[in-house]
Chains A and B, each alone.
Chain A
Amino acid sequence: MAAPLTLLLLVAVTVRAALFRSSLSELISERVEVVSPLTAWKRVIEGLALLDLGVSPYSGDVFHETPLTIYLFHFLVDYAEVTFMLADVITAVALYMAVKDYNKQVFRKQKFALEADRYPLDCLELIRSPKEMYYIPLKVAMFYLLNPFTILSCVAKSTCGLNNAIIALFILSTIKGNVLLSAIFLSLATYQSIYPLTLCAPALLYLMQRQYIPVNFRRASFWWFIVQYAFMYLGSLFVIICLSFFLLGSWDYLPSVYGFILSVPDLTPNIGLFWYFFAEMFEHFRLFFLCVFQINVFFYTIPLSIKLKEHPVFLIFMQLAVISIFKSYPTVGDISLYMAFLPVWSHLHRFLRNIFLVSCVLLACSALFPVLWHLWIYAGSANSNFYYAITLLFNVAQILLVSDYFYAFLRREHHLTYGLYLKRKDGSEATLVLK
């Protein structure tokens, strides 16, 4: 399997290197779909310039990266292209290894269940074979590396690629069962963009499952594990934050990075839901809706973790999707991370209902973004409503996609316990309805 992966990496790097050299890269790095005020490379350059002049990079309202990022690029600014390509490669390889490990576990679990005769007889069609699972890790890497969204994001030098790499490393260390590394990478990811905080729920569930600790509020071992993890997580977060403080010598970065993420002062159009809503809103409702919108990202953690507590990896996928849909400054780079997981759930295809509709809408929307932007900004004949309509449609399609996968996952689990061909009480064929 190493040879195809190497080939894939080579192809991906070649495509990126070619695009970096072409005139397109300048165009791409200006696109609002690809870069947000948080991740734009232009702003990193500005921050670096300020830093070199001995001014705090957070003075003014341009730079919103974390101090560690700017110090990283302080040394690597001449090798920025290589850094971003490397970040993509790391993400892909981490996801590849993580999924490979995960598939092994899934297969082992399935084998035990089969041996224990836990599946109903007519469910044999649903049992996964090693043959179909063999190519999944490679497909995951391919979905990440060759996804046009990732390529655009990398060519634009959006720092979203780095965040994705950290999250991918977090997923890898979690799946490998390394508690300390998992906590460290999670705190790094949180430090970078707050929202990955919600990933601690699936991580905890997964690690407990791996160490055979039951998820039971009355057990001491359960609480002891949570305390351990929280200690490691908070400890490393504390270290990182203090390190940032000592690097810059001030707390300027806290309001400028996290305040910026949470209070959404920059209403540049992007593919998210915030900008139009907050641009149109009366000022005195702003705080209220800000809370509503931000809680929205975090809130789904609770119901999803209750429903999916047996399947933490699927929960990770769901959480990543929720974050990338509802976060305040989403870019296509965020989407590409959760889309990389789609091949892992390829066995759910027979239960998906709207996949055709959703993929058509996603495709059409991706093409319409630049067209409507052109009509609005350059031709002046359309207006922001046109662009927002597409944004809305794009997000609805994403939500439909994710809920479709969620439904399909639950349905498969249902069939695995109750049998594939369900009968009603009167013996006619029953259908499952989601209500």
Chain B
Amino acid sequence: MGLLSDPNRRRALISLLTRLNTPICIVCYMAGVAWFMGLAFEPFTLRTYMSENAMGSTMVEERFPAGERALATGREFSAHKKRTGGMPVEWLMKTMQAKGLEVFTQRFSRTLPFPDENKERYMVRGTNVYGILRAPRAPRTEALVLSAPCSPGDNNNQAVGLLLGLAEYFRNQIYWAKDIIFLVNEHDLIGMQAWLEGYHHTNTTGTFCHSRGGSIQAALSLELSSDIITSLDLVLEGLNGQLPNLDLANLFYAFCQKIGVLCTIQGKLQRNDWDSVSGYSHAVQTMMLMVMKQASGRPWGDHGLFLRYHIEAATIKGVNSFRQYKTDATTIGRLLEGMYRKLNNLLERLHQSYFFYLMPSLSHFVSIGYYMPAFGLLAVILLLRALDLWVQLSTPPQRTEDGVTDIEPVRGVLSLLTPLVISHLTGVALYMLPIRFQEMAVEHFPVSETEAVVLTAIAVYTAGLALPHNTHRLLSGEGTEQGWRVLKLVAVLYLAVLLGCTALINFSLGFILALTLVPVAAFVTPHVPKVLSAFILVILSPACTLLFSVFFFQELQEMPISFQDGWLLFLSVISQGILDHSLYGSLVYPLITLLVYPCWLLFWNILFWN
């Protein structure tokens, strides 16, 4: 407390911070970025380990024999799917009943706010089929879920086949202490959402599940499209960047090691040469892919919505590439059997291990304590800037006349309030108008509904740039020095709180936004060269960040695209973002439009203060 209460030392500290403000800010930014890049360096990361006792020490034996039969069932399923032209509900029910499960169906229908062009759907109707294997050993208060999506075309038939094969095998075992629910969901996430809402009786569309098992402890979603695979990919990122408990990833990794299956995360194999440049860049790529996926806030597999109900879930994807190493369905079946037996041993929900982590490879992770400083270093810049402004504001300005001082506060509040209100109204317009105006836009312009929504969004976004920066002049004459400083102080603190909250919920999104918005917030004043700064400001605005992220993401996936394709992808990403918000309640779109964009507009406003 000496530092806070001793006035001399306080003064020294504050003068140091204000004098060296710019260098300290630059150093902090560099340090933040360097820290973040360092996270992927293997000596700085922790090895994953199983924290949960119930899953760690016990041994299980995998005996699943019937891989070939499962594939045959998959082919049968595919034939029936082709015949009915969708989900073969009758056949599935009959088959599941034949395997000894209690079978139920759930119908659902959903109308999208506008047509989804990626998946070509608008009015969605479908049926989920699920069979419950009642636990013979326990009072059926808990359950596990294994799901496979029924996808259009030739995809995922093998997954359904394996699911049915496992159901038959599991039925004959006596050691199950939890209900196991085998779910085949139609229309991927929409079906999954309908089922989850029905199961938990939180349904808004009105279809409840007729029968339920216990409370779900964990869930795996299986995607498998070929008879033989070369590796299994683990997908963790769920809605709003939520991740399952790290123990679930550990479990998967442990069994892959035990059974000898190649496993990847983000489609990247693990490498052992961490000390070479290429090994390090490989780890960075893997981690960056995770960061980008998490920042997008959308579920990257069918498991994504389970996380919302405190259910630890992941998607396992079978990948068939041109590697020599092949794995057959029996082995995958054994892997899943092992995982479910271990999950069956759980005494309480998975909670021992981390919930906040990044993975540069499947065997290593970075926990919240390690990655938060990277964000902290960026956020501290905002606080230093705010302190600097505060000191500038609180040192008494040279007095001119007595009359000036008492009008100032009222005018100060007004000139502060108008940009705040106007930029937020622009944000609200950006949030509301695209969906509201789609019909009108389709009527008057030769565009499809989806294009109309996206283009309206971009139009409102661009119009926002032209709007607010003239208002204070109309209201209170010339903008004062004091005025922009107060506005900037408010904007900087606003941004700091906003980014802090975002980073707590979704670190990746918070970090990416901080990376682009913090420099803007730090350097903008009305006195910097206008044209150049305006250009930089636009480049670092949220929409451009998204555009760059699209290209960067493609680059990371080693699928670089031309500018034309990139632009189209950018448009579809926006429409997907809006759809994710209205379908599943993803928070990224409202966050950007209602809070981040208005905040950025405040800085735009400061630039054009005079």
Contacts and interface: CB of A to CB of B under 8 A. Distances in A.
B497 interface: yes
B145 to A, nearest CB: 17
A368 B505 CA distance: 10
B372 to A, nearest CB: 12
Contact of A380 (B4, B310, B390): B310
B406 A431 contact: no
Interface stretch (B6-14, B36-44, B227-235, B317-325): B6-14
Interface residues of A, number: 23
Most A C-beta atoms less than 10 A away, residue of B493, B500, B504? B504
B493 A368 contact: no
A368 B5 contact: no
Contact of A367 (B5, B310, B390, B501): B501
Interface string B236-260: 0000001100000000000000000
B355 interface: yes
B6 A433 contact: yes
A360 interface: yes
A360 B351 CA distance: 33
Contacts of A379: 242, 307, 355, 505
A363 B4 CA distance: 20
Interface string A363-398: 110011001101100111110000000000000000
Interface string B500-511: 110011000000
Nearest to A371: B501
Given A131-B406, A380-B310, A356 B501 contact: no
Given A372-B504, A381-B355, A381-B356, A354 B497 contact: no
A382 B501 contact: no
A29 B505 CA distance: 23
B305 interface: no
B386 interface: yes
Q: Is the interface of B mostly helix, strand, loop or mixed?
A: helix
Interface in B300-316: 307-308, 310
A141 to B, nearest CB: 16
A375 B505 contact: yes
Contacts of B500: 364, 367-368
Nearest to A377: B310
Given A353-B4, A360-B383, A431-B7, A368 B390 contact: no
A375 B386 contact: no
Interface residues of B, number: 27
B465 interface: no
Given A356-B387, A360-B386, A368 B242 contact: no
A287 interface: no
Nearest to A352: B394
A59 B498 CA distance: 45
Main DSSP-derived SS at the A contact region:
helix
Contacts of B4: 353-354
Contacts of A367: 497-498, 500-501
A219 to B, nearest CB: 39
Nearest to B391: A356
Contacts of B504: 368, 371-372, 375
A434 interface: yes
Nearest to A366: B497
B347 to A, nearest CB: 17
Contacts of A434: 5
Nearest to B10: A353
A248 to B, nearest CB: 39
Interface in B47-83: none
Contacts of B386: 356, 360
B493 A360 contact: yes
A381 B8 CA distance: 44
A362 to B, nearest CB: 11
A381 B242 contact: yes
Scoring A354, A356, A367, A371 by chain B CB atoms within 10 A of each residue's CB, the highest score goes to A356
A131 B497 CA distance: 36
Nearest to A360: B493
Nearest to B240: A379
Q: Which 10 A-B pairs have the closest CB atoms?
A: A381-B355, A380-B310, A371-B501, A367-B497, A356-B390, A431-B7, A364-B497, A371-B504, A367-B501, A434-B5
Given A381-B355, A432-B7, 11 more contacts: A356-B387, A360-B493, A363-B493, A367-B501, A368-B504, A374-B505, A378-B308, A379-B307, A380-B310, A431-B8, A433-B5
Interface of B: 4-8, 10, 242-243, 307-308, 310, 351, 355-356, 383, 386-387, 390, 406, 493, 496-498, 500-501, 504-505
24 contacts: A131-B406, A353-B7, A356-B386, A360-B383, A364-B497, A367-B497, A367-B500, A368-B500, A368-B501, A368-B504, A371-B501, A374-B505, A375-B504, A375-B505, A378-B308, A379-B355, A380-B351, A380-B355, A381-B243, A381-B355, A381-B356, A382-B355, A433-B6, A434-B5
